[in-house]
Structure 1
Amino acid sequence: MLLSLETIPRLHSILATILTWLLLVGFVIIPGAFRTDADGEMARDLAAEVVFMVVGFSSMGVGIAGAVLLAVRWRRNHVWLINKIYLPLVQSGLAGMVAAVVAIYRLQG
């Protein structure tokens, strides 16, 4: 498997990194779409929330779809999958969970 790492195109490794970052962007943007005003009430700027939601969910969708395609393509090379797909996705998921928890506590004061 280590020798077969040489056969994986560099473009696929770059795409895996970009797709992981896109997923992280979605994880961080979506909880931040819900804002509060000075009184602690939910802000009523629906247009901004919709834009943030569309950007967040579309970046998450592209990141997930691309990561799944790369994982299926290189499913026999476990070393590459762990280093380029699984581990970065777990880290992005943890960062997204932290962002969601912070957003929830911020909204509730």
Structure 2
Amino acid sequence: MDPNIPVAPALQSNRISHNIFVTRYVRMVVESDQIPWKHNVLASAAHWVLLAGYLVIPGTFTSLQKSDSLNGTLGSSEAGEVILKTIQNPPLLAMACVLFLLGSMAMGWLFWKYRDNYIWLLNRLFLPTLLNALAGLLTTFINIYTAHHGDWSIMALLTVIASGLSVASSSGLVIIYKFRKLEKVKQEHWQATSVRNRGL
């Protein structure tokens, strides 16, 4: 048996003594169930805040170019054309940036606090972030090709890039933690338990 794997003290259950064999995997499972509910709520709130940011940003896409009256008024001067190409919806853009910042800060703190519990990170941070990023990317494409008739403004392009990077990074984290880090911990668990069972 691996000397680095701790064995918990004997527990009395129905007057029968059991040696509980604790591996890193078992510890992660138990710890993920014992994480304070307020941190689980904070993780869920952070995802909703990020999702809200994804849903708000498409509202900042400019559609002024579609307005004939504004095109006639602003398009007659060089300064007007610059305004026509750059005006967005500043309050919505500011709100989306604040939501992204708040959600990212909360998730960064939770990641640092529970960085050794791969199960909790996957279930509470990485997978929900991936799903929300995909929802944001899909919403952006729908907005571009329906409300804005395929008009790729600068904001639309930046939003697609930001959402795509979120999808790519969260997908990478899911792959690394699910299929590498957690899989290694599981293999250690099964090897240790099989060695222990053969020794009994």
TM-score normalised by the chain length of structure 1: 0.85
The one-letter amino acid paired with 2:43 is: A
RMSD: 2.3
Question: Which residue does the alignment assign to 1:77?
Answer: 117
Question: Which residue does the alignment assign to 1:32?
Answer: 59
Question: Which residue does the alignment assign to 1:89?
Answer: 129
The one-letter amino acid paired with 2:121 is: L
Percent of residue pairs identical: 27
Shift of 1:56: 0.7
Q: Please give the per-residue CA displacement for 1:52-92, whole angstroms capped at 9, x wherever unaligned.
A: 00111100111011101101110111111111100100001
Separation in 2, partners of 1:6, 1:93: 26
Question: Which residue does the alignment assign to 2:89?
Answer: 49
Question: Which residue does the alignment assign to 1:18?
Answer: 45
Shift of 1:102: 1.4
Q: Please give the per-residue CA displacement for 1:21-77, whole angstroms capped at 9, x wherever unaligned.
A: 00000011011222537x934987x5x811100111100111011101101110111
Q: Does 1:62 align with 2:102?
A: yes
The one-letter amino acid paired with 1:83 is: N
Separation in 1, partners of 2:144, 2:44: 28
Residue ranges of structure 2 left out of the alignment (5+ in a row) = 1-27, 71-83, 151-200
The higher-RCO structure (CA 8 Å, 6+ apart) is: 1
Q: Does 1:108 align with 2:149?
A: yes
Separation in 2, partners of 1:3, 1:100: 39
Question: Secondary structure of the equivalent of 2:89?
Answer: helix
The one-letter amino acid paired with 1:26 is: G
TM-score normalised by the chain length of structure 2: 0.48
Shift of 1:10: 0.6
- Greater Rg by CA: 2
The one-letter amino acid paired with 1:23 is: L
Moved more, 4-13 or 87-96: 4-13
